[in-house]
Amino acid sequence: MKLIAHSPVRPFHYPQENPVLHCGKVSLETLARRHGTPLYVYSADQILERFRLFQQAFAGRDHLICYAVKANSALAILKLLASHGAGFDIVSGGELERVLVAAPQAAGRVVFSGVGKTAAEIDRALEAGILEFNVESETELELLADRARKLKHVARFALRVNPDVFAETHPYISTGLREHKFGIDIRQALRLYQGAAGNRWLQPHGVSVHIGSQIRSADPFGAAMERVNKLVRQLNSSGIVLKAVDAGGGLGIDYRGGSFDPAAKVREYAAAVQAALEGFEGRLLLEPGRFIVAQAGALVTRVLHVKRNGNKTFVVTDAAMNDLIRPALYQAHHEIVPVTPRPGRAHTVDVVGPVCESGDFFARDRKLAPVQPGDLVALLDAGAYGMAQSSNYNTRMRPPEILVEGSRARLIRRRETIADLLAPEMLAEGR
């Protein structure tokens, strides 16, 4: 069986002299022995490499890459990206607190998206002096104006417009159609900007879009930006000059490895976005998440049992849907490779976790290299929306996270303990 972890798009590989899966120079077997399983492992080098692809592709113009914190919100990763100049796209007060802890110097490089910001979240962001609020409704704009006036902080805002562009992706993560809850109908935007222009506490700073996630083609991004550019021109002629256009995130990766060239992808994406923005001289903001962190990460898990039911073979791992929910939620494909390959034929199996739901699977009818109980396997491309979407379902402790930088592996989050999980609970009132 071809072991696709060898693909140059991932930091995971089998060195010839020691054919055990490594992240950079660090053996996953060693990490699993030291930290137990399941375990998330990320390559800092690849995260930075991907981040730099965006920086390079947009180097010709004023831009800021606001990494989408929701993809992977580990403090150490936020700190790493901030130290290389990243800004951040946040969608909650909690994500803002993460940025303020990991990289307080980056507060002025934060854009705040999301359809339901509360007054408390807005206040905290105003006080922190974030770059821009991406406002998603008329009533949110009113709330923002109200909070800004009360706190005497001028709020820089962008309207997140809904460009009504179809982006081919999973329906749960497509966001740019009028039928979705996101953004403001682009036809209403001009009126709202004009209305806000007279309010001294609101500064029309930009316009933003985000049409969805895991979008593989550059075309829908171009189409959305063309509509945005048209709005920018209309605003110009009515005397409202925006400083920034926020193109959102959404650029997809190839979860099957394939012949994917990340650098070429980012260049193609950058070309489409910039061509559509012709004539706009201001700053370009971008909110990539998945593209930067997905392929840098793997979830390492141990095989507990191999069992046969009828004619099906189930490989039961110690990781479950609570650790990585993407296969259960979106029927997402994650490659699964052995950490220490054994000789022999691949078998068709289901790879499942111990949670008591039939939806708790990582792969169905998948050809998997031979494995036995006790073996380690790695679920690849798990760096984005893996740990970030994990839960404690079945009272399972969430896994630790390791960040590998060259030959150094650093524990950036310890495994949860039962005490962590039970701490907020009370058996009786007041106790």
The residues assigned a catalytic role are 356
* Residue 173 makes contact with ligand LLP by CB under 6 A: yes
Is residue 147 close enough to count as binding ligand LLP by CB under 6 A? no
Binding flag, residue 220, ligand LLP (CB under 6 A) = no
Site string for ligand LLP, 186-215 (x = CB under 6 A): ------------------------x--xx-
Q: Which of 38, 176, 250, 383 binds ligand LLP (CB under 6 A)?
A: 250
CB of 90 to ligand LLP, least distance (A): 9
- Binder of ligand LLP out of 183, 249, 262, 399 (CB under 6 A): 249
Candidate list 11, 220, 289, 341; residue touching ligand LLP; CB under 6 A: 289
- Is residue 290 involved in binding ligand LLP (CB under 6 A)? yes
Per CB under 6 A, 71 contacts ligand LLP:
yes
398 is a contact residue toward ligand LLP (CB under 6 A):
no
Strands (E), 258-320: 283-286, 297-309, 312-317
Measured CA distances, 394 to 11, 16, 346 (Å)? 32, 40, 31
Closest to 387 measured CA to CA, from 316, 267, 305, 300: 300
| Cα 213–chain centre separation | 9
State yes or no: residue 10 binds ligand LLP (CB under 6 A).
no
The residues pairing with 403 across neighbouring beta strands, listed in sequence order, are: 42, 410
Tell me whether residue 250 or residue 262 sits nearer to ligand LLP (CB atom): 250
Site residues for ligand LLP, 312-351, by CB under 6 A, read 326, 330
Query: What is the amino acid identity at position 391?
Result: S
Beta bridge pairs of residue 43: 404
Radius of gyration over alpha carbons of the chain, in Å? 23
Q: By CB under 6 A, name the one of 10, 385, 390, 396 that touches ligand LLP.
A: 385
Residue reference for tokens 């959102």: 248
Q: Is 163 in the site for ligand LLP (CB under 6 A)?
A: no
The pair of structure tokens assigned to 275 is: 């061509």
Of 24-32, 198-206, 223-231, 243-251, which segment contacts ligand LLP by CB under 6 A?
243-251
DSSP assignment of 47-98 equals HHHHHHHHHHHTTTS-EEEEEEGGG---HHHHHHHHHTT-EEEE-SHHHHHH
Consecutive H or E run containing 353: none
Least distance from ligand LLP to the Cβ atom of residue 364, Å = 18
